[in-house]
């Protein structure tokens, strides 16, 4: 006897499940990976992305590209998440983490198609990932921080490696010094990267970019009388306010009922008296530079100009915070009881300078300098935006290097070393787990293989040379490290293979640790999903079949009335 059909889900719900759904998710992820695989390495290509508003972005940064791609496949969105997390945690390796996750899925796609349980794959991947992470920690080279000269060279090499694949590669030495100076200028306890301000000024060449040990921000909106104010000070007292110094029309905020003209005049006189009391208190404090988050009106601007005081209103919160970090003092919410010793900051030189087509306020020689500013120049806005993203990656890499002090060689050398290590381990175990660990090991080779493809090299030949190098007997170099495990892809060498450690292609070990763990978790997450349930509301939100709305619905109702008529 046939069992009665039980309907649980709402009519119109789309359900896909089983092996077909799992393979569909894997194919979607591989399609996303194919989009960004050509951006990897020093010979990687850029992507030009145009959003729905017509805004153009040119970049080869993996996190930026993944964020701008309008991915609608639910499983493939996991790749966007790991690229964002890699960018937030480390700053570099965003393309590598997506490539690794996609290659892991590609290697086990055949096993899934043949009926191997996803749980077996997940178990093998997690075991292989843990072995790989432990091996990275064993191979990582720790650098002595006590020798400042050598430690600075290390930071420069790591920053240069992060810039190798970027648009600013041709000016790597110029920007490397700028990045290292900026990070070393921060408080070495927390290394808050938000205290490194980056300003963009179109025009000029890349070499015209400036590094300011202190704060620089664009000239704010100014009223009449601003041009009469002095624009340069030596050792000025700086007052930072969160006070509005402006006469306001209160027709919207207050109501005053008066019986005589004298009463109205008393109200006006009181308003003027209040603002003049504030201005006199500021002048009596001895401040020569007055900054405020709120507007400073024309009355106050002219008042300060007559007394040789510089003022700037509507300073953004980020710029104000960095000014406080640099010059000292505190932000005052009132003009009364200003203590010059506690509430005012200072710097050696304050100046307003023309940079390109913009006027900038610069604070030099700040005594409490825990912040700095990078002023970037370039020919086009898209170009400057890509320079900013490139410097962000380099800054994050230098920051992580200072915190961890462990480095590994780049150029695919660490991936080849891990691949060889996991292949050897796979031969010591039995069953299906051997196949899964071997698949994980083969997936790691996607990094050197893609580096070869992007550089126009013969990937098969280069990988064969690398396997031969990495399978050689262990050779210790003069500093005690394993010389055989650091051979990687050298796109500048005719042989295509070189010791990346000798060539100073260094990366923080935390980049590889985070990339491997994130890629493995993303692959396991996608493999663990065997059913997708899409409710009718989701289809409706995405423009799928749904009840008619708007003009279409009105048209149907109109036709209905016509038929009834």
Number of structural domains (the chain) is 3
Q: Pseudo-torsion of CA 344, 348, 352, 356, nearest 10°?
A: -130
The residue behind tokens 């504030």 is: 278
Answer yes or no: do 412 and 396 share one domain. Answer: no
Domain membership of residue 5 (yes or no) is no
Answer yes or no: do 392 and 296 share one domain. Answer: no
Please tell me whether residue 504 adopts helix, strand or coil conformation.
coil
Gap between the Cα atoms of 518 and 202, Å rounded: 37
The residue behind tokens 């000014």 is: 323
Domain membership of residue 9 (yes or no) is no
CA separation (Å) from 463 to 15, 420, 448, 467?
Answer: 43, 12, 7, 6
C-alpha of 268 from chain center: 51
Nearest residue to 499 via CA among 401, 410, 407, 397: 410
H helix or E strand, kind and range, residue 92:
none
Q: Please give the residue range of the domain that contains residue 41.
A: 14-142+408-532
What pLDDT score was predicted for residue 553?
40
Per-residue b/e over 471-482, b at no fewer than 16 CB within 10 Å?
Answer: eeeeeeeeeebe
Which CATH number is 166's domain given?
Answer: 3.30.260.10
Domain membership of residue 379 (yes or no) is no
What pLDDT score was predicted for residue 561?
41
Locate 23 and state its tokens: 């393979």
What pLDDT score was predicted for residue 537?
60
Gap between the Cα atoms of 346 and 372, Å rounded: 15
Tens of pLDDT along the chain (565 residues) come to 455 555 555 555 555 667 788 888 889 899 999 988 998 888 888 888 888 888 888 888 888 888 888 888 888 888 888 888 888 888 788 889 999 999 999 999 999 888 888 899 999 999 999 999 999 988 888 877 777 888 888 888 888 888 877 777 788 888 888 898 888 888 777 788 888 888 988 888 888 888 888 889 898 888 888 888 888 989 889 999 888 888 765 555 667 777 777 777 777 777 788 888 888 888 888 889 999 998 888 888 998 999 899 999 899 988 888 888 888 888 888 888 888 888 888 888 999 988 888 889 999 888 877 888 899 988 878 888 888 888 888 888 888 888 888 888 888 889 999 999 999 999 998 888 999 999 999 999 999 999 999 888 888 899 998 888 888 765 555 455 555 578 888 887 767 788 888 887 888 888 899 999 999 999 999 988 877 766 666 444 444 444 444 433 434 334 344 433 3
Which CATH number is 45's domain given?
Answer: 1.10.560.10
Answer yes or no: do 418 and 494 share one domain. Answer: yes
CA separation (Å) from 133 to 127, 151, 435?
Answer: 10, 25, 19
Is 56:50 a contact under the CB 8 Å cutoff? yes
Answer yes or no: do 157 and 181 share one domain. Answer: yes
Domain membership of residue 241 (yes or no) is yes
Rg (CA), the chain: 31
Answer yes or no: do 352 and 223 share one domain. Answer: yes
Gap between the Cα atoms of 240 and 319, Å rounded: 11
Locate 133 and state its tokens: 């992470």
Answer yes or no: do 444 and 346 share one domain. Answer: no
Gap between the Cα atoms of 470 and 500, Å rounded: 13
Q: Is 365 exposed, middle or buried (0-12, 13-18, 19+ CB in 10 A)?
A: middle
Answer yes or no: do 77 and 137 share one domain. Answer: yes
Backbone angles phi, psi at 503, to 5 degrees: -85, 5
Gap between the Cα atoms of 244 and 374, Å rounded: 30
What pLDDT score was predicted for residue 158?
85
Which CATH number is 350's domain given?
Answer: 3.50.7.10
Gap between the Cα atoms of 200 and 376, Å rounded: 5
The residue behind tokens 């810039």 is: 163
Domain membership of residue 548 (yes or no) is no
What pLDDT score was predicted for residue 425?
93
C-alpha of 244 from chain center: 34
What pLDDT score was predicted for residue 173?
86
What pLDDT score was predicted for residue 549?
41
Answer yes or no: do 279 and 164 share one domain. Answer: no
Locate 270 and state its tokens: 């009181």
CA separation (Å) from 489 to 182, 357, 461, 492, 543?
Answer: 30, 43, 11, 9, 47
CA separation (Å) from 37 to 43, 101, 360?
Answer: 12, 12, 40
Domain membership of residue 543 (yes or no) is no
Query: What is the number of residues in the chain?
Result: 565
Put residue 204 in one of left, alpha, beta given phi > 0 → left and psi -120 to 50 → alpha. Answer: left
Domain membership of residue 544 (yes or no) is no
Answer yes or no: do 340 and 226 share one domain. Answer: yes
Answer yes or no: do 27 and 97 share one domain. Answer: yes
CA separation (Å) from 338 to 282, 312, 341, 547?
Answer: 8, 19, 9, 65
Domain membership of residue 545 (yes or no) is no
Answer yes or no: do 438 and 483 share one domain. Answer: yes
Nearest residue to 93 via CA among 49, 36, 26: 36
Put residue 431 in one of left, alpha, beta given phi > 0 → left and psi -120 to 50 → alpha. Answer: left
Answer yes or no: do 204 and 219 share one domain. Answer: no
What pLDDT score was predicted for residue 543?
47
Nearest residue to 289 via CA among 189, 215, 224: 215
Gap between the Cα atoms of 351 and 215, Å rounded: 11
Its pTM stands at 0.76
Instruction: Give strand pairing partners of 378.
Output: 202, 203
Helices marked H in 375-426: 381-404, 413-426
């Amino acid at each position: 006897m046939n069992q009665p059909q039980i309907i649980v889900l709402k009519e119109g719900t789309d359900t896909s499940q089983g092996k077909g759904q799992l393979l569909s998710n894997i194919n979607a992820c591989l399609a996303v990976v194919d989009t960004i695989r050509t951006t990897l390495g020093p010979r990687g290509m850029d992507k030009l992305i145009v959003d729905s508003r017509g805004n153009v972005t040119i970049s080869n940064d993996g996190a930026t590209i993944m964020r701008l791609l309008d991915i609608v496949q639910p499983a493939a969105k996991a790749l966007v998440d790991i690229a964002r997390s890699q960018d937030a945690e480390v700053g570099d390796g965003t393309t590598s983490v997506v490539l690794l996750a996609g290659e892991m899925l590609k290697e086990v796609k055949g096993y899934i198609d043949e009926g191997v349980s996803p749980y077996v794959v997940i178990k093998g991947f997690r075991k292989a990932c843990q072995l790989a992470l432990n091996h990275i920690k064993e191979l990582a080279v720790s650098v002595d921080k006590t020798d400042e000269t050598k430690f600075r060279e290390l930071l420069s090499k790591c920053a240069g490696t992060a810039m190798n694949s970027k648009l600013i590669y041709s000016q790597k030495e110029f920007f490397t010094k700028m990045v290292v100076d900026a990070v070393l200028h921060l408080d070495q306890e927390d290394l808050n990267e938000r205290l490194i301000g980056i300003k963009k000024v179109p025009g000029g060449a890349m070499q015209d970019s400036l590094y300011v040990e202190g704060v620089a921000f664009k000239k704010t909106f100014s009223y009449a009388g601003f041009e009469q104010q002095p624009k340069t000070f030596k050792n000025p007292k700086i007052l930072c306010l969160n006070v509005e110094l402006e006469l306001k029309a209160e027709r919207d905020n207050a109501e005053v009922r008066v019986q005589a003209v004298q009463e109205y005049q008393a109200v006006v006189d009181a308003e003027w008296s209040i603002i003049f009391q504030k201005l006199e208190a500021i002048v009596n404090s001895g401040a020569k530079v007055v900054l405020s988050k709120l507007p400073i009106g024309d009355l106050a601007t002219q008042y300060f100009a007559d007394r040789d005081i510089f003022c700037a209103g509507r300073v953004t919160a980020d710029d104000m915070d960095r000014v406080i970090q640099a010059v000292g003092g505190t932000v005052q919410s009132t003009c009364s009881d200003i203590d010059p010793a506690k509430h005012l900051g200072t710097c050696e030189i304050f100046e307003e300078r023309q940079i390109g087509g913009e006027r900038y306020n610069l604070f030099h020689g700040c005594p409490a300098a825990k912040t700095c500013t990078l002023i970037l120049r370039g020919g086009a806005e898209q170009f400057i935006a890509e320079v900013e993203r490139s410097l962000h990656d380099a800054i994050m890499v230098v920051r992580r290097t200072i915190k961890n002090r462990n480095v590994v060689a780049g150029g695919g050398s660490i991936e080849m070393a891990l691949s060889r290590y996991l292949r050897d381990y796979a031969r010591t175990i039995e069953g299906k787990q051997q196949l899964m660990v071997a698949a994980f090991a083969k997936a790691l080779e996607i990094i050197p293989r893609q580096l070869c493809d992007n550089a126009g090299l013969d990937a098969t030949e280069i990988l064969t040379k690398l396997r031969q190098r990495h399978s050689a007997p262990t050779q210790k170099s003069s500093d005690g490290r394993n010389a055989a495990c650091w051979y990687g892809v050298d796109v500048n060498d005719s042989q295509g293979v070189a010791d990346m450690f000798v060539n100073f292609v260094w990366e923080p070990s935390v980049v590889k640790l985070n990339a491997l763990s994130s890629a493995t978790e993303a692959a396991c997450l996608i493999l663990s999903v065997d059913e997708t349930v899409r409710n009718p509301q989701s289809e409706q939100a995405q423009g799928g079949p749904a009840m008619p709305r708007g003009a279409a619905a009105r048209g149907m109702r109109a036709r209905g009335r016509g038929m009834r008529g």
